Amino acid sequence: GEDVEQSLFLSVREGDSSVINCTYTDSSSTYLYWYKQEPGAGLQLLTYIFSNMDMKQDQRLTVLLNKKDKHLSLRIADTQTGDSAIYFCAAPSGGYQKVTFGTGTKLQVIP
Amino acid sequence: GAGVSQTPSNKVTEKGKYVELRCDPISGHTALYWYRQSLGQGPEFLIYFQGTGAADDSGLPNDRFFAVRPEGSVSTLKIQRTERGDSAVYLCASSLLAGLAGGEQFFGPGTRLTVL
């Protein structure tokens, strides 16, 4: 099955860029996702990337995919205090509907 | 509805008791998913429904866990003979169709289950 790993914690200053990293094991994953979880709120899909892409940009978010190394990263430009949350990398295993999540990276933004 | 709703938001029970957790998906969403999130972990897939049928229940940890979706809308996750290790946040999600190609999964706020 799929195994997804992330670092647990990242602290950045407001206005700096944040880079959250993730590794996965299943090379057949067709999509890879980034989710955001804020305290007391449900999981929110931030962005996703197809496995045949190596980069996707969406406003302040940039996703980089290195399929050879099975490495995914999420860059948040001009990080704001409202970006403080837990970010989960996720990949499908056994089909689109069965998604394996990483342990989450807690992003702390220091004003 | 406006979003996925789950009831109750919190449930405290004693070891050995039976509990039911309810999920109301977004109206018109045919796919429904249950996940379990333990403290400090990411959500763990439990079961997926397409319509009324469980298309994939491979994530259910054992036969104490069961889920139904009799009319293809509301779903109930049932846990028999609860154990302390069942304590977690149970998340429900729905999507218009199956998989990302059919739409993103929208998550509810979860039910926090505590087994004493």
Of B40, B99, B109, the CB nearest to A97: B99
Retrieve residue A111's tokens.
């004003």
3-state helix, strand, coil in chain A (%, to 5): 5, 55, 40
In angstroms, what separates the C-alpha of B14 from chain A's closest C-alpha? 24
Alpha-carbon span A31 to B70, nearest angstrom: 31
Start-to-end CA distance of chain A, whole Å, equals 40
- From the candidates A86, A98, A103, A105, which should be mutated to test the interface with B, based on the most B CB atoms within 10 A? A98
Helix (H) / strand (E) containing B91: strand B88-95
In tens digits, what is the pLDDT along chain A, a chain of 111 residues?
A: 778 999 999 999 999 999 999 999 887 777 889 999 998 777 898 998 988 889 999 999 999 999 999 999 999 999 999 999 999 999 887 666 678 899 999 999 999
pLDDT band at residue B100, thresholds of 50, 70 and 90?
low
**What is the C-alpha to C-alpha distance for residues B58 and B14, in angstroms, rounded to an integer?**
27
CB contact under 8 A, B93 and A43: yes
Q: Which among B26, B9, B38 has a CA at the least distance from the CA of B107?
A: B26
